[in-house]
With several copies, the nearest count.
Chain A
């Protein structure tokens, strides 16, 4: 992992020029949001590594974070936080695998937030083992008839479109019988139900698909090639996720605030809390530095190092929010699940919410397997489902 890459000065110049031109032509303070975001897209600053003409400048991803910081600092709305799935997953997937018509129809609208997207991958029976999913898409005269259940669907209740992976060939090996669709969520038979989680709110949804008739024009990638397309979606997810946490922000900032507000700073028990805080502060900063270093090293696209960051982050966050609970002491006994359902902010929410961070988007256990195989080259373990058609593999 020795070789390093640093931003090409030509790329910096191109990007700086594009930003300057954009901000001059469309001063953020005096431009309506949709128009402004449309202009960002048109100037190629939406996804700088996309080809020119579809939101990009044909550059590497090295300056991705720089562009994002520069634009949001200049007053452009936070297009990543506001359309995380559209920006981070749908956009790159469509850019790479979509037809011209799909690219033309979707990309600009994704970036401006006109189309909200959700992801329809996980199922109750397919969590870590995503490729074992059971939602069926059966060809009909007019397209595909889809039946199944998806779960953990963020933004499902608001989305116009969903990134759907379904099984089109149950007799094939599990990775080979999948096909990927850009699902219109307004189609008949799509039912979205809120899914309440332990923190009390319903951030996620279950999506029931009952005889949904999907036109073949919604298919992206070939029949049976859904797994490869899904890999593009997931690989790009992390490029985006890391970008939004500022240094010393989030969990550690909350812990420091609680420490500052604390009366007892000198008792023996307080000293020990303080050391936990310092240890976590260091680990948090080191994780941030690792992200920054990875971004500087990255020439093109995300690599498996993202898995390492996610393992570290979820663990640091969980421990830091637990420290926050301890710093608040008895006050942490109070919590309103009802307020959480209403969306009211309250201390203790992230203590609960953070438990999901080591599960969602790839559990820490699965990610460690990935790191061991893809980064360290350790030999694969025995897999009883290997080389066996999907419909012959045991499932729970």
Chain B
């Protein structure tokens, strides 16, 4: 098991950090939040053209660079640190993974190069109004039509659903949960933006009324693909959470060194020191969990489901706690709209709720491994 980065991976991380520091600092973040589009197309293009980030983990044959998941972890950690507003997660993590998890070479050839190059923005629409992420009943239906399939139903909490030009929809056919590609300009598709708690990640609700769609892979193939995609999404969001949590800690430490009350920096107060020490403990622990999941994604696929739930459960709580403490340490100023602390707090809670909260993932972990096999030497997680 390898939980550290190579020098090459660290160099990638530093490049991403430099790009984001230049293009996506706090001022730019506020502009993007208030923009109609919700992301900065210039930054998106820089990410693709200068650094090839969208294609990082996509195989070379589909226009990507074929790197592994640990590279992706490093990139996502940096994006999480600056709360990057972009359809990266929807397009690269969710959609590319979904396409790569279903056996349909033609669809891959058609759709992945656009995602890898950043020309296409894709998303996956699977959750419905019941808000369930795992093993949820699929009420959206697909019926075969004249050369194409037609979809009816609704989807919600769709990441970047308004900006995506390609929407991968999970719908039920007689053969089971199946994946369909929908062009965002299709007739019968009504997209409504949702006002979100997390101001840095856009969501939409979709209504599908006889919307034409292309079947990806076989009927019934979406169930397993969605499960794998969710595992990788949990791993990926855990990496983002680590980056955000680290930034909260950094903000707190910096503020504690400079804010003076009672004639001394508040960082001289032992209680502030201990809060920061506990935050460090949680951030470093979260980092271990996320890197472990990243390692499992690449090197031990059998261990991935449990590792992903472990990471999602731990990192979600750690980020929420650290983001709340960051507000507390800042006092009144940390509670204002103008200060960034609340953006991290909201991101923390929203990313806990996305794809299932900590309690749900603790249960998933036990279900997946069987609680008996958690014992010493009993579990596949021992890898």
Query: Chain A interface (Cβ within 8 Å of chain B)?
Result: 1-6, 122, 124, 126-129, 132, 151-152, 195-198, 200, 246-249, 252-253, 256-257, 259-260, 267-269, 272-275, 277-279, 281-283, 285-287, 289-290, 292-293, 296-297, 305, 308, 311-312, 318, 322, 325-326, 329-339, 348, 351-352, 355-356, 358-360, 363-365, 367-369, 371-373, 375-385, 388, 393-396
Tell yes or no: B68 within 8 A of A by CB: no
* A interface footprint on B66-83 (CB within 8 Å = 1, 0 otherwise): 000000000000000000
Instruction: List chain A residues, Cβ under 8 A from B266.
Output: 128
Q: Is the CB of B277 within 8 A of A196?
A: no
Instruction: List chain B residues, Cβ under 8 A from A372.
Output: 267, 273-274, 276-277
Instruction: List chain B residues, Cβ under 8 A from A326.
Output: 353, 357, 359
The residue in chain A whose Cβ has the minimal distance to the Cβ of B132 is: A330
Tell yes or no: B360 within 8 A of A by CB: yes
Q: Is the CB of A359 within 8 A of B277?
A: no
For the complex, what is the distance from the CA of A338 to the CA of B292, rounded to whole Å?
Answer: 40
Known: A253-B375, A312-B285, A333-B354. A380 touches B331 (CB 8 A): no
In whole Å, how far is B321's beta carbon from the nearest beta carbon of chain A?
Answer: 10
Q: Is the CB of A359 within 8 A of B328?
A: yes
Instruction: List chain B residues, Cβ under 8 A from A260.
Output: 371-372, 375
Q: Please give the number of chain B residues whose Cβ is less than 8 angstroms from any Cβ of chain A in the complex.
A: 93
The residue in chain A whose Cβ has the minimal distance to the Cβ of B365 is: A278
Known: A289-B292, A368-B274, A372-B277. A269 touches B196 (CB 8 A): no
Known: A256-B374, A260-B372, A372-B276. A363 touches B328 (CB 8 A): yes
- Which of A290, A325, A383 contacts B285 (CB under 8 A)? A290
For the complex, what is the distance from the CA of A392 to the CA of B346, rounded to whole Å?
Answer: 40
In whole Å, how far is A218's beta carbon from the nearest beta carbon of chain B?
Answer: 27
In whole Å, how far is B272's beta carbon from the nearest beta carbon of chain A?
Answer: 8
Instruction: List chain B residues, Cβ under 8 A from A198.
Output: 327, 335-337, 341-342, 345-346
Given contacts A248-B375, A371-B277, 10 further A-B contacts (CB under 8 A): A1-B284, A128-B261, A286-B285, A330-B157, A333-B194, A334-B197, A352-B342, A364-B328, A385-B264, A396-B259
Q: Is the CB of B324 within 8 A of A248?
A: no
Q: Is the CB of A290 within 8 A of B284?
A: yes
Q: Is the CB of B359 within 8 A of A273?
A: yes
Sample of 20 A–B contacts (CB below 8 Å): A132-B262, A132-B263, A198-B336, A198-B345, A275-B362, A293-B4, A308-B284, A311-B277, A312-B285, A333-B157, A334-B194, A364-B328, A372-B277, A376-B277, A378-B272, A379-B264, A380-B268, A385-B263, A395-B263, A396-B261
Instruction: List chain B residues, Cβ under 8 A from A272.
Output: 359
Instruction: List chain B residues, Cβ under 8 A from A356.
Output: 332, 335
Q: Is the CB of A369 within 8 A of B270?
A: yes
Known: A312-B281, A336-B195, A377-B253. A297 touches B327 (CB 8 A): no
Tell yes or no: B3 within 8 A of A by CB: yes
Q: Is the CB of B131 within 8 A of A396?
A: no
Q: Is the CB of A396 within 8 A of B4?
A: no
Q: Is the CB of A278 within 8 A of B277?
A: no
Query: Chain B interface (Cβ within 8 Å of chain A)?
Result: 1-6, 10, 13, 127, 131-133, 157, 194-199, 203, 253, 256-274, 276-278, 280-281, 284-289, 291-292, 310, 313-314, 320, 324, 327-328, 331-338, 341-342, 345-346, 349-350, 353-354, 357, 359-360, 362-363, 365-366, 371-372, 374-379, 381-382
Instruction: List chain A residues, Cβ under 8 A from B272.
Output: 365, 378
For the complex, what is the distance from the CA of A395 to the CA of B259, rounded to whole Å?
Answer: 8
In whole Å, how far is B259's beta carbon from the nearest beta carbon of chain A?
Answer: 5
- Which of A289, A318, A330 contacts B133 (CB under 8 A)? A330
Q: Is the CB of A151 within 8 A of B285?
A: no
Count of A-B contacts with CB under 8 A?
277
Instruction: List chain A residues, Cβ under 8 A from B285.
Output: 283, 286-287, 290, 312
Q: Is the CB of B194 within 8 A of A293?
A: no
Instruction: List chain B residues, Cβ under 8 A from A382.
Output: 268
In whole Å, how far is B284's beta carbon from the nearest beta carbon of chain A?
Answer: 6
Q: Is the CB of A383 within 8 A of B263?
A: yes
Q: Is the CB of B381 within 8 A of A195?
A: no
For the complex, what is the distance from the CA of A208 to the CA of B252, rounded to whole Å?
Answer: 28
Q: Is the CB of B360 within 8 A of A269?
A: yes
Known: A248-B382, A260-B372, A371-B277. A122 touches B359 (CB 8 A): no
Q: Is the CB of A348 within 8 A of B10?
A: no
The residue in chain B whose Cβ has the minimal distance to the Cβ of A373 is: B273
Q: Is the CB of A4 within 8 A of B332?
A: no
Instruction: List chain B residues, Cβ under 8 A from A331.
Output: 131
For the complex, what is the distance from the CA of A296 to the CA of B287, rounded to whole Å?
Answer: 14
The residue in chain A whose Cβ has the minimal distance to the Cβ of B77 is: A2
In whole Å, how far is A201's beta carbon from the nearest beta carbon of chain B?
Answer: 9
- Which of A122, A330, A363, A369 contacts B353 (CB under 8 A)? A330
For the complex, what is the distance from the CA of A273 to the CA of B291, rounded to whole Å?
Answer: 29
Q: Is the CB of B4 within 8 A of A6?
A: yes
For the complex, what is the distance from the CA of A363 to the CA of B262, rounded to whole Å?
Answer: 14
Q: Is the CB of B328 within 8 A of A388?
A: no
- Which of A5, A127, A253, A373 contacts B261 (CB under 8 A)? A127
Q: Is the CB of B353 within 8 A of A355?
A: no
In whole Å, how far is B201's beta carbon from the nearest beta carbon of chain A?
Answer: 9
Q: Is the CB of B363 within 8 A of A268?
A: yes
Known: A198-B337, A289-B288. A2 touches B13 (CB 8 A): yes
The residue in chain B whose Cβ has the minimal distance to the Cβ of A311 is: B281
For the complex, what is the distance from the CA of A352 to the CA of B337, rounded to whole Å?
Answer: 11
For the complex, what is the distance from the CA of A373 to the CA of B337, rounded to whole Å?
Answer: 31
For the complex, what is the distance from the CA of A273 to the CA of B310, rounded to whole Å?
Answer: 18
For the complex, what is the distance from the CA of A383 to the CA of B263, rounded to whole Å?
Answer: 8
